[in-house]
Each structure stands twice: as structure tokens, then as C-alpha cells.
Amino acid sequence: MPHQKTILRALAGETLPTPPIWMMRQAGRYLPEYKATRAKAGDFLSLCYNSDLATEVTLQPLRRYDFDAAILFADILLLPQALGADLWFVTGEGPRLSTITDRAGFDRLKPVAEIHETLNPIYQTVRNLAGELPKDVTLIGFAGAPWTVATYMIAGQGTPDQGPAHALMRDDPAVFEALIDTLTEGTIEYLSAQIDAGAEVVKIFDSWAGSLKAEAFDRYCVAPIRRIVAELKNRHPGIPVIAFPRQAGDAYIGFHARSGADCVAVDDFVTPEWVAENVQTDGCVQGNLRSSHMVTGGDDLVRETRRIVEALKGGPHIFNLGHGITPDADPDNVQLMIDTVRGG
């Protein structure tokens, strides 16, 4: 039964003797079977939009490892593509998009109501997974947070400091806020459709939240996430939501209450002891092993994994990395992490 799934129990606020485990980017480039499937698809976007192959790569890590959850294989930039942005990936460099830097660029976007035509294959992947996952594995859907997605749409690519987005926020606030509002509405529709298709939990990734400070953090990170969470819970009572305002630092404090999220995922820039004292007091937390341990392994991985489990054992906790696993990770280290969490 769904209520027996460990992830859902932790999200409901239960402190478990052993934390459930999943891993950001667990279906991905560190696995040879993923590389083979991607080669079969031809390119990254073709893989995302091929429901059968996207289902396959989502299931691959569950054949190797006893994870407690699967996360939909997709990308946070599929929503801007569905809104009409051009999107492509440069090998070895990452995503590229057509840019929005003025009102004319914003006005070229499609209405939010039209996104589902593009995103229907993603919903089919969710439906596939809902029918194929083991009964004790939780299915997680996801989207990027409006601020993070906006940074890519404004700059046309990832940037070190999100400077172009900050510049548009300052120089043309009307266009910037219109974009944030459209992305907030689009994210609600996108995640709601994933839930309708079978997602049991959704996660909002605000990967660049840390570049927002003070009032801007509240206005462009917290407020959009709060609006998304509130509307999802209005449409889908009881749906759990995980929020990940990466590099939020002290702004992690109180984020549960300010955003309405059931769980706050934390990065590895904060210690698990600090998280226990300042964040876990408000509800479930997720994290926060450094991704580099998946590369180096050994005693350091075991020691740090045990430290996190020990520090966060007093409250609801989902064990995860502080960011996504990297392509150079050793698959054997993933098993070592899982064994260590579970007492091996």
C-alpha cells in the first residue's frame, strides 16, 4: 500500500530507524547501460521524449540497486521548450536555448495551456513507470523552479553567477516578473499532469537559488515555490512536495513553513549537524552526501555516510546526495553508500 512506502512515511513526518534512499540523477551517465540506451536514442532530447527508452533508463538503476524511489528521467528545460523556446544540447558543454531578454522575446512564448502537446511523452513515461515499478518503490516527478529555469531562458545557457537573469531583474523588472509568473503557472500545470499520470511525490529543483539574496530570495525563490506547492495541494490533496533551494545557506531555516514543502532537500555546503539543529526541527529533510564521494569511495565515503545518518537520525530523513551524481562516479560506490546507510 502507498502509505507503507518508506519515502512517503518520511515525507509524512515519521522518523524511521533506517532512512529511505534515492539519489539525484540516479538514472544517468555513470551507468554503462544508460550510455548504451542513450546511444540507441541518438541524442539526449530524443531520449527524454521517447517514452519507452525514458522508462528504461529510469528503471535501470533499480535493477542494480535497492533504492526506495525512482525519479522520472527528463530535464528541467523541457518546460521552456514546451513554451516555445528553442532547446538543444552541445556535447560536453550542456544546454543551449534561444534567449528572452526583452518584451518581444517574452511575447513569442506560447500560452501555458499549450505546453501539454509537447510534454505528453513525458506524461506517458510517468504512466509507464507507475505500472512497472516494484510496489514498494515510490515514483517521483519533478520540475525546475521558476527562478532556475528563468536563468537558463534569459542567458541561453548555464552561467557561473546567473548574471544575465540578475541584470534583467534589475533593468526590466516587468518582463522578468512576467517570465517568472509564466514559469510558475507552467510548472503547476506540468507537475499536476505528472501527478495525474501517477507520480506519488514531486520535487522542485531550484539549483541556482543561492545566487538570490535577502528580499530577492523571498520574492523569486520562496514565493513561486509556495504558489506551486499550494496549488498542487489544492488540486491533489495529500501530495507530498520536496523543495531543493540549493546553496540557500541560512535561508534553509524556516523554508518548510515559508514554502509549504513537506521536505527540504539540502546541499553539502551545510553540515548534517547544522541541518538537524536548524532545518529538521520543522520537518523532513533530504541529503546530503557530497557527490565526489561517489567518485572516490573508500573509507571517506563510509565515514561521511555514517556521520549523516547519525546526525539526522532524530527526525524524518531521506538519504540522498547534496547534488546529482556525476558521470565519473563508480557504480560500485553507490552500492557501498547504500550498504553503509543500511548498516553494512
Please give, one letter per residue, the 3-state secondary structure of 20-37: CECCCCCCCCCCHHHHHH
Q: What is the mean pLDDT of residues 305-330?
A: 98
Please confirm, yes or no, whether 152 is among the known catalytic residues. yes
222 secondary structure, DSSP code: I
Average pLDDT across the chain, whole number: 97
Burial class (CB in 10 A: 0-12, 13-18, 19+), 39: exposed
Among 38, 64, 127, 307, the one annotated catalytic? 38
Q: Could you give the number of structural domains in the chain?
A: 1
Cell numbers at 100, concatenated: 528572452
Specify whether the CB–CB gap between 151 and 114 falls below 8 A. no
Answer yes or no: is pLDDT of 344 > 80. Answer: no
Helix axes 163-171, 173-197, angle to 10 degrees: 120
Among 152, 190, 220, 252, the one annotated catalytic? 152
Q: What is the mean pLDDT of residues 152-177?
A: 98
Distances (CA, A) of 32 to 52, 328, 335: 18, 11, 15
Which residues are CB-neighbours of 269 under 8 A, at least 6 positions away?
247, 249, 322
Among 75, 172, 218, 282, the one annotated catalytic? 75
Q: Where in the sequence is the domain holding 246, given as residue range(s)?
A: 2-341
Model pLDDT for residues 191-246, shown as the tens digit of each residue: 999 999 999 999 999 999 999 999 999 999 999 999 999 999 999 999 999 999 99
Percentage of the chain surpassing pLDDT 70?
99
**pTM (predicted TM-score):** 0.97
Answer yes or no: is pLDDT of 4 > 70. Answer: yes
Q: What is the mean pLDDT of residues 140-165?
A: 98
Least confident residue range of 3-7, 22-26, 58-62: 3-7
Question: Looking at residue 296, which CATH number applies to its domain?
Answer: 3.20.20.210
Among 25, 226, 227, 246, the one annotated catalytic? 25
- Determine the pLDDT at residue 92: 83
Please confirm, yes or no, whether 64 is among the known catalytic residues. no
Among 29, 64, 127, 307, the one annotated catalytic? 29
> What confidence category does residue 91 fall into, taking pLDDT thresholds of 50, 70 and 90?
confident
Please confirm, yes or no, whether 226 is among the known catalytic residues. no
Q: Which amino acid is at 56?
A: E
